[in-house]
Amino acid sequence: MVQEIAIGHQTVRREPVPAEEAVVQVQNLSLFYGKHQALYNVSINFPRNKITAIIGPSGCGKSTLLRSLNRMNDLVPGVRLEGKVIYEGIDIYDPQVDPVEVRRHIGMVFQKPNPFPKSIFENVAFGLRLQGQKAGLEQAVQRALERAALYEEVKDKLGEVALRLSGGQQQRLCIARAIATEPPLLLLDEPTSALDPIATERIEELLLELKKRFSLVIVTHNMQQAARIADRTAFMHLGVLIEEGPTNEIFTVPRDPRTEAYVTGRFG
């Protein structure tokens, strides 16, 4: 359904992502941590082979929404959820759906690089081994490292402990580990917030390359980053999805005064 919004003398035609183009559909999602409600009736479609950025001030529900997309919130005691998250036509919160299987299809990269205390090779091979893959491990690990733009830097030290890598290299290793099993959707929770500007630039370049093969949803507090790499942007405030749409429209002709105040730096 096309939304026409009058802003000043302009009329903005804000088109949501059609269901048939979405890798994930969030429908009327509310989430509670015990008695505290963290998300309020959120509905949004995330498109295939695009980067969607979720922005908003601290504590607004960005990471909670992201973690709802692959049931990571299940690991928090007292969580209760209402609504649906539809991935490839399946409600991932259906009682018959195994959350471990969900996470095999929907990978995740966290804010702080978290390589295992294993070799570089074994870090990337970890998920493949869990799936029972034995043949072709070397090729699969190399392919993942190449896609993460890391292989040329580590090809001669794959047997070394991954913790010896720099912060930026560790984060690219975590991305390689996440994509080694070819998940159609990759979630990234502030993946560059702990990195320096040079490492951040490399990660951003990598994400732009990865969207050719994967769908990506990124939580970021960096609005410049969202403007640089995201195809669509969603703005959240106090657990509510205020608005979402093409990134250039969210930043130039936001329809809600709260969005305008945030993207122009008046709060947040």
pTM (two decimals): 0.91
- Which H or E run includes 127? helix 120-130
In this prediction, residue 13 has a pLDDT band, given cuts at 50, 70 and 90, of low
Residue 48 lies in a domain: yes
Neighbours of 132 (CB within 10 A): 6
- Count of structural domains, the chain: 1
pLDDT at 61: 96
> Under a CB-based contact definition with an 8 Å cutoff, are residues 65 and 52 in contact?
no
Q: Which domain holds residue 16?
A: 1-115+183-264
- Domain assignment of residue 27, yes or no: yes
Residue 78 exposure: Cα atoms within 13 Å on the Cβ side: 7
Residue 210 lies in a domain: yes
Query: Is residue 166 assigned to a domain?
Result: no
CATH code (residue 63): 3.40.50.300
Query: Which amino acid would we find at residue 176?
Result: A
pLDDT at 14: 67
- The residue-averaged pLDDT of 34-47 equals 96
Asked if the structure places residue 138 within a domain, the reply is no
With respect to residue 153, please indicate whether it lies within any of the assigned structural domains: no
247 domain-assigned: yes
Q: Kindly state whether residue 177 falls inside one of the protein's structural domains.
A: no
User: What is the pLDDT at residue 132?
Assistant: 85
pLDDT at 9: 42
pLDDT digits (tens, 9 = 90+) for 91-149: 999 999 999 899 989 999 999 999 999 999 999 999 999 888 888 899 999 999 999 99
